[in-house]
Structure 1
Amino acid sequence: MKINQFLDATYLKTARQAGLSEKENLHKVLQLTEEAIANEYKLIMIRARYIGNVKTALAVVKSPVLIGTVIDFPEGNSTTDEKLQEAQKAMYAGAHELDFVLNYNAFKAGDISLLTDEITQCTALCLEHHKVVKFIIEVAALSNEEIIVISQLIKKVVLENFGEENAKNVFVKSSTGFFKMHTSKSNGATIESMKLISKNAKPLKIKAAGGVRDYPMALKMLALGVDRIGTSSSKEIINEAHNTNLEH
């Protein structure tokens, strides 16, 4: 098993969040792009404003690395129309995969119809343009019961409206990695949360994001049925995998 093909190498900080100039932040994005090319990651996950730069860098060397971006990130509170407009711009720029932050606050408030409409329309747009869609549910903001219900809801909406043949192009994703916690609890994927998603979202695909920083944890996630891992520690995971394989 080549762990690199399960990795979405991720850098989602804005220049302001990183405390950098825009030029310096672009440099970090392009550094990650070079790393993704060298290590043959599945995908590089970046902010939409950098899609053109990454697309050019990948095209120069004819790299098969895919480009992913986030939509309505990280809060997920925009209207469905606003999300669709943002997604259309990202697809036009060259994104292959779009990770939407679902309106989990509306879900927690009981507005299932809003969430159902959001899932339906965003999935329809992406599938129509032959893109992969991922729905971020923000597990750190949800109870275990809510994780179960929202995972089942996404599965139900997708299978009823788009058929099981499209399940391979729709992911349930754990986290943004940007959720502000008031305790020491993880704000990203955990073994417990990914078990719940795996049990309740399959046959949809599953992405663990946030908190997967080493090879042993990556292996644990894959053993749970995770199909993709979003991480800012891709290089560390690759290096640990290489060293582990050498030891054996």
Structure 2
Amino acid sequence: MDIKQYLDSTYLKTAQQANLSEEENTQVVKNCIQEAIDNNFKLIMIRPDKVVLAKEMIQNAKSKVTIGTVIDFPEGDGALADKLAEATQAIYDGADDLDFVVDYKAFKNDEIDKVKTQVLEGTKLGLKHNKIVKWIIEVAALNNHQIVQLSALIKNVVIANCNEKEYEKVFVKSSTGFYKTPEGMPNGATVPTIKLMLENSFPLPVKAAGGVRTYEEAVEMIRLGVKRIGTSAAKTIANGEVSNSDY
């Protein structure tokens, strides 16, 4: 199976997180963008401040690689106005996919209307500009019941407010890859959590992010039904090798 068109090649570390200078970290981003172009991956997923750089490189290469970025990352607890402003800037800069971190903390606190409103407004903004919208639910911060509920909440908001042709443009996504779990527990996609998401977000598509480290694991996710896989080791996985990446 050629899995390259399922892969969102991802680099989301800040210079500080990578223990690099800003210049060094920008070079890492450039290398990742070039690798996505050279390998014809579906998408390059980078921080919002690197979208313009990615757009320029992809246009110069006449590549079909699309550009994704993260919104309110990685905590997801920013004000709605700030979420929408960041997304609007990313759209202006040339992003194709907007991966919002849903306010899963508000959800866990039973602030359901708050979560519904941000899902509605963020989705409407993205679809208005013909973008793909993904909602990161941070499965490692949730129990199974909460994964079911939050996946269904996003689905129900979209079904109630969007037309059927738009469903394929709104994903439920598993993880940021940055959530700190106790004692080395998985912080990304696992088969059980992805199954819960698939069952409860349908007909919306699902993106498995974090935790997919081999070609075989990627194929298993695709066969389960995921439409995208987020990984910082896209080339390694596509080549059938094993990644030791933490995302």
What is the TM-score of this pair, normalised by structure 2?
A: 0.96
Partner of 1:64: 64
Partner of 1:44: 44
2:95 equivalent to 1:95: yes
Partner of 1:133: 133
For residues 2 and 81 of structure 2, the distance between their equivalents in structure 1, rounded to whole angstroms, comes to 39
- Deviation digits for residues 108-164 of structure 1 (CA, Å, limit 9, x no counterpart): 000110000000000000000000000000000000000000001100000110022
For residues 169 and 232 of structure 2, the distance between their equivalents in structure 1, rounded to whole angstroms, comes to 23
Partner of 1:115: 115
Aligned residue type for 1:108: K
- Deviation digits for residues 205-240 of structure 1 (CA, Å, limit 9, x no counterpart): 110001111101101111111000000110111111
> Which runs of at least 4 in structure 1 moved beyond 6 Å after TM superposition?
none
Partner of 2:215: 215
For residues 132 and 224 of structure 1, the distance between their equivalents in structure 2, rounded to whole angstroms, comes to 21
Query: Root-mean-square deviation (CA), in Å?
Result: 0.8
Structure 1 position 80, deviation (Å) = 1.0
For residues 59 and 69 of structure 1, the distance between their equivalents in structure 2, rounded to whole angstroms, comes to 17
1:134-153 map, 5 Å: 134-153=134-153
Partner of 1:184: 184
For residues 129 and 204 of structure 2, the distance between their equivalents in structure 1, rounded to whole angstroms, comes to 19
Structure 1 position 182, deviation (Å) = 1.4
Aligned residue type for 1:106: A
Contact preservation (8 Å) 1:41, 1:65: yes
Q: Secondary structure at the match of 2:208?
A: strand
Contact preservation (8 Å) 1:4, 1:41: yes
Partner of 1:244: none
Structure 1 position 54, deviation (Å) = 1.1
- Deviation digits for residues 72-111 of structure 1 (CA, Å, limit 9, x no counterpart): 0000000111100000011101100000000000000001
- Deviation digits for residues 47-89 of structure 1 (CA, Å, limit 9, x no counterpart): 0111111111111111000000000000000011110000001
2:87 equivalent to 1:84: no
Partner of 1:74: 74
Structure 1 position 31, deviation (Å) = 0.5
For residues 97 and 63 of structure 1, the distance between their equivalents in structure 2, rounded to whole angstroms, comes to 16
Q: Secondary structure at the match of 1:183?
A: helix
For residues 233 and 202 of structure 1, the distance between their equivalents in structure 2, rounded to whole angstroms, comes to 28
For residues 44 and 218 of structure 2, the distance between their equivalents in structure 1, rounded to whole angstroms, comes to 17
Identity in percent: 51
For residues 164 and 139 of structure 2, the distance between their equivalents in structure 1, rounded to whole angstroms, comes to 25
For residues 232 and 141 of structure 1, the distance between their equivalents in structure 2, rounded to whole angstroms, comes to 21
Aligned residue type for 2:3: I
Aligned length: 241
1:23-38 map, 5 Å: 23-38=23-38
Aligned residue type for 1:183: E
Q: Secondary structure at the match of 2:9?
A: strand
Unaligned runs of 5+ in 2: 242-247
